[in-house]
Amino acid sequence: MPLLADLRVLYHLVFKRVRACDHAARMEQFYAGQSDSYDDFRKRLLPGRQELFSSIPICDGGVWVDLGGGTGANLECLGDSIRRLSRIYVVDLSPSLLEVARRRFERLGWSNVELVEADAITFRPPSPADVVTFSYSLTMIPDWFAAINNARDILRQEGILGAVDFYVSRKHPAQSHTKHSWLTRSLWPLWFACDDVFLSADHVPYLHDSFRSVLYRESRGRLPYVPFARPPYYLFVGRKRG
Ligand SMILES: C[S@@+](CC[C@H](N)C(=O)[O-])C[C@H]1O[C@@H](n2cnc3c(N)ncnc32)[C@H](O)[C@@H]1O
């Protein structure tokens, strides 16, 4: 029942306290009880994912690394053209979400997808990647600087970095970027921090510093069951500089 599934997810988001000290254990504790309902609820909570994945060109024989890829649902946006890639790595710390991903790719018959239980800040594919993506994972990775640096290291030159996530602006952002009010900058980091999601004003500047931007968009999402709430998110696609 969709409503029961939503209630289970809401219980985990609002009431369940995650107490493990180790980051990987915290992720698994948070997701284990909601992994089966994850995709349906996050479709309504996490905007811009389809746009991000469909805006990245696929190159024949390429390698795609999805860091913090969870259930791998985003890869379905690529459709059957995913078969043109030689390898796709879905890297995540939560075995429960990876199990959902395993069932998905088995059902789709996509044998070139490899699921890896590993940390996004240390994972290295055997050969340089053509694409690295972060979809709502940077805000959950405590050392997100290290995760972006690792992504840059594993990309080939001119390789593509794609990221989509919630964020808040700096008080004085770059001129071409959106400036958020004091209320927005204060409310949303507090709201999301309850679920170990840490919105930052520095993701966007650091991504622009680290990669040559080819697509950048800022917008507002929605929260299921919370009318009028519009958390800000960004979508970034950049290329590793030669
Ligand atoms: C909000 S979920 C997003 C999942 C998926 N990318 C999506 O768009 O639905 C954040 C994911 O990041 C993963 N994660 C958090 N920290 C991580 C880390 N250090 N290394 C790998 N994955 C991590 C979590 O386990 C979780 O699956």
Token pair listed for 166? 């919630």
Per-residue model confidence (pLDDT) at position 240: 98
Query: How many angstroms separate the alpha carbon of residue 71 from the centre of ligand 1?
Result: 9
| DSSP-derived pairing of the beta strands 63-67 and 212-220 | unpaired
d(CA 139, CA 183): 20
Per-residue model confidence (pLDDT) at position 234: 98
| DSSP-derived pairing of the beta strands 232-239 and 155-166 | antiparallel
Token pair listed for 99? 């199990």
Give the CATH number of the domain where residue 84 resides: 3.40.50.150
Query: How many angstroms separate the alpha carbon of residue 209 from the centre of ligand 1?
Result: 23
Token pair listed for 215? 């697509």
Per-residue model confidence (pLDDT) at position 86: 98
**pLDDT average, residue stretch 214-219:** 98
Cβ(108)–Cβ(77) under 8 Å? Answer: no
pLDDT digits (tens, 9 = 90+) for 69-102: 999 999 999 999 999 999 999 999 999 999 999 9
Cβ(130)–Cβ(62) under 8 Å? Answer: yes
Report CA dihedral (161, 162, 167, 171) to the nearest 10 degrees. 50
Ligand 1 pocket test target in 88, 140, 233 with most atoms within 8 Å of CB: 140
Q: What average pLDDT does the chain have?
A: 94
Ligand 1 pocket test target in 38, 137, 164 with most atoms within 8 Å of CB: 137
pLDDT digits (tens, 9 = 90+) for 23-64: 999 999 999 988 988 898 888 899 999 999 999 999 999 999
Q: Per-residue pLDDT for 193 more than 90?
A: yes
| DSSP-derived pairing of the beta strands 129-135 and 232-239 | unpaired
The total of structural domains in the chain comes to: 1
Token pair listed for 228? 């009028």
**19-23, 113-117, 187-191, range with the lowest pLDDT:** 19-23
Query: How many angstroms separate the alpha carbon of residue 3 from the centre of ligand 1?
Result: 24
From the alpha carbon of 197, which atom of ligand 1 is closest?
1
- Its domain, for residue 78, covers 2-39+46-239
d(CA 49, CA 74): 7
Per-residue model confidence (pLDDT) at position 161: 98
Q: Which of 197, 187, 203, 89 is closest to 142 using CA atoms? A: 197
Per-residue model confidence (pLDDT) at position 133: 98
**pLDDT average, residue stretch 223-239:** 94
Query: How many angstroms separate the alpha carbon of residue 136 from the centre of ligand 1?
Result: 7
Per-residue model confidence (pLDDT) at position 3: 81
